[in-house]
Amino acid sequence: MLSVHTSPLEQPGTGDAGGMNVYVVELSRRLAALGVEVEVFTRRTSGAQADLVELSPGVLVRHVDAGPYEGLAKEELPGQLCAFTAGLMRAAAAAADGHYDLVHSHYWLSGQVGWLFAERWGVPLVHTMHTMAKVKNAALAEGDVPEPRGRVIGEQQVVDAADRLVANTAEEAADLVSHYGADPDRVGAVPPGVDLELFSPGDRAAARARLGLPADADVLLFVGRIQPLKGPDVLVAAAARMRARRGAGDRPLVVAVLGGPSGSGLARPTALLDQAAQLGVGDVLLTRPPVARAELADWYRAADLVTVPSHNESFGLVALEAQACGTPVVAASVGGLRRAVSDGVSGVLVPGHDPGRWAVELDVLLADPGRRAAMGRSAVAHASGFGWDRTAQRVLREYDRAAATFAHRRPAPLPLLEASG
């Protein structure tokens, strides 16, 4: 596994750590349980990180030196790919010939490195995009920065080089074909999973008591990195409209945001707080840094609704985790969220990002506890079809397909010249 720009050991929800981190961790663990030894190579971001860390039995994380440990933005990492490749060569030098059977790269930066090492080791290359520049640029949030042309070119090269592309949804697979000219026969769709043991229904009142949330409030939850792409500003603007319509006897409103600034959001790290203050809902907004997974499950259980107002999502693991905990989800009708949420059954998909429309959808659900309870039960059933064990088994089948493609595409060895008379 290659995860150049973010370590699977990092806390999701801030910096560059997010759903991809969860994906790499959970997939690696479940593959190991199926008898596949996994080594994850990632860039070292702290001098305190050991060269080798056992993530779980059968899964090793190897840290590679490439550029300064701290203060290096993801956008600057293309200039460090050569250094990462050199570090990976040193780290893997001790491995015997034939030690690696396959390379699975995550995100285009890893794909660039994976392309080289798959050829060097003579093994198949499997790649998962997670996000695509052309898709992101077609759905930019207001004030967000387009992905650079260099990334588009790099993604195209990886698409052309990979023996197999694993997309999160059929829609993402179609985007690979339409935007990047991928061969449909080399693209497979495997939805991510959810840890159904960790994320499970629980008592809402008890969860609120543990988290210090008011028992009598309407609680809306946002979990993720604070950046325009994720749309937390849409939720704050909607909350202002909801607050304006409430009377003195209505339930108080709490908008809880778990996450930290990331990407273009780093340019204005207090933007969400400033927006809330300007709209007069500073007392409604409750911000917290990312939390450990066990506590995150409590936040999902404590919320009346979990919101995912993203402008683009390759899948939306937050939506799946929330549903597994029995909490309905209100999400933007974009990308993989259309697959992660069963519209009208386990939650509601909202077209567009108009705060007024979002305020209406949220108010309608908050005013109908019976409908929310029914959606919560359906949400658990919907999420139960997305266990990580099933994901790992399907990814293994994609590895088999990659091996078959590789065997077909691999050039035949040149014939030996016979010695003349």
Q: Binding residue per annotation — 291?
A: yes
Q: Binding residue per annotation — 96?
A: no
Q: How many other β-carbons are positioned within 10 Å of the β-carbon of residue 408?
A: 8
Q: Binding residue per annotation — 100?
A: no
Q: Binding residue per annotation — 415?
A: no
* Strand extents, DSSP E, 200-267: 218-223, 253-258
Q: Binding residue per annotation — 225?
A: yes
Q: Binding residue per annotation — 44?
A: no
Q: Mark 38-61 as b/e (b = at least 16 C-beta within 10 Å).
A: bbbbbbbbeeebeeebebeebbbb
CA distance 354 to 161: 40
Q: Binding residue per annotation — 74?
A: yes
Q: In what order do the strands lie in the sheet with 253-258?
A: 285-288, 253-258, 218-223, 305-308, 329-332, 347-350
Q: Binding residue per annotation — 421?
A: no
Q: Binding residue per annotation — 399?
A: no
Round to the nearest angstrom and report the end-to-end CA distance of the chain: 51
Q: Binding residue per annotation — 230?
A: yes
Q: Binding residue per annotation — 254?
A: no
Q: Binding residue per annotation — 14?
A: no
Q: How many other β-carbons are positioned within 10 Å of the β-carbon of residue 17?
A: 21
Q: Binding residue per annotation — 327?
A: yes
Q: Binding residue per annotation — 151?
A: yes
Q: Binding residue per annotation — 63?
A: no
Q: Binding residue per annotation — 312?
A: no
Q: Binding residue per annotation — 301?
A: yes
Total count of residues recorded for the chain: 421
Q: Binding residue per annotation — 393?
A: no
- Block residue for tokens 């778990």: 258
Q: Binding residue per annotation — 19?
A: yes
Q: Binding residue per annotation — 131?
A: yes
Residue ranges of the annotated binding site for UDP-N-acetyl-alpha-D-glucosamine are: 11-12, 19, 225, 230, 291, 313, 321
Binding site residue list: 5, 11-12, 16-21, 74, 107, 131, 151, 225, 230, 291, 300-301, 303, 313, 321, 327
Annotated binding site for Mg(2+): 300-301, 303, 327
Q: Which residues are part of a known binding site for 1D-myo-inositol 3-phosphate?
A: 5, 16-21, 74, 107, 131, 151
